[in-house]
Amino acid sequence: MLSVIAVLPQPPLLVPELTGGAAVETEALREACRATAADLAAAARTWIVVGADSGGRRSVEPGTTGTFAGYGRDVPVVLPGGEGRIDDEGPGLPLPLLIAGWAAAGAGTDLRVRGELVGPDAGVADCLALGAELADAAGRGAEDVGLLVVGDGAARHSERSPGGFDGRAEAFDGVVAAALDAADPEPLAALDPELARELWAAGRAPWQVLAGAARAAGTWSGTLRHTSAPYGVAYHVALWNRE
């Protein structure tokens, strides 16, 4: 059954080999991600990773490998659990799955990690339906399954943000952070896709998949473990447990 949900952001700066002098500046965020991944692994050895990618909807099987070479250094990752299967996507492996592979590598052994990607412009109804489908499939098995949802908040919190400053970003991420802290899927389900697009919020579609899964699986308790916007991009870390 779907027993635990973790939320991580997807900045490549989480990986120390890619950050150089910024590694110290982002250590609190990195440690929150590592601790949350470890807790996810302690609760469930099977992970379903949800992220957004411009290639649209597809599944990515355990055993798929990739590299952060496209982000400045050839740091390899793998989605574990392939039992000898290797599908190498190299630098083409989407960023949410690169981050999931990095998180899994630091969370222990014997994990089985599968990716479920959606388009960043996926409709709300489609995201909610996918989440419900994933929760239903997890509920048909005897093992505990963890959902790892990867995506950033608005990328327009300051003038040095990738998208420049937009005054609506603070309120948008305030809603997200409060919903994650309350383990409440409803505000996430209600996020406006057009506003999220204008704010460059890559996590919108994955968070709405989360909302569909959480609705279908029961009631939840949880906490927001970290939120920050060190480079004008909002990063949220949270862990929910099924009650």
pLDDT band at 65 (very low <50, low <70, confident <90, very high): very high
Distances 86 to 46, 117, 184 between C-alpha atoms, Å: 18, 19, 37
Contact 127, 210 (CB under 8 A): no
User: What does the pLDDT look like over 79-128, one tens digit per residue?
Assistant: 999 887 789 999 999 999 999 999 999 997 799 999 999 999 999 999 99
Here the CATH number for the domain that contains residue 37 is 3.40.830.10
Distances 176 to 27, 34, 89, 188 between C-alpha atoms, Å: 22, 21, 32, 7
pLDDT score at 22: 61
Whole-prediction pTM: 0.97
Q: How many CA atoms lie within 13 A of 12 on its CB side?
A: 19
Number of domains in the chain: 1
User: What does the pLDDT look like over 37-49, one tens digit per residue?
Assistant: 999 999 999 999 9
Mean per-residue pLDDT, 134-151: 96
Domain assignment of residue 232, given as a range: 2-51+124-242
61: in domain: no
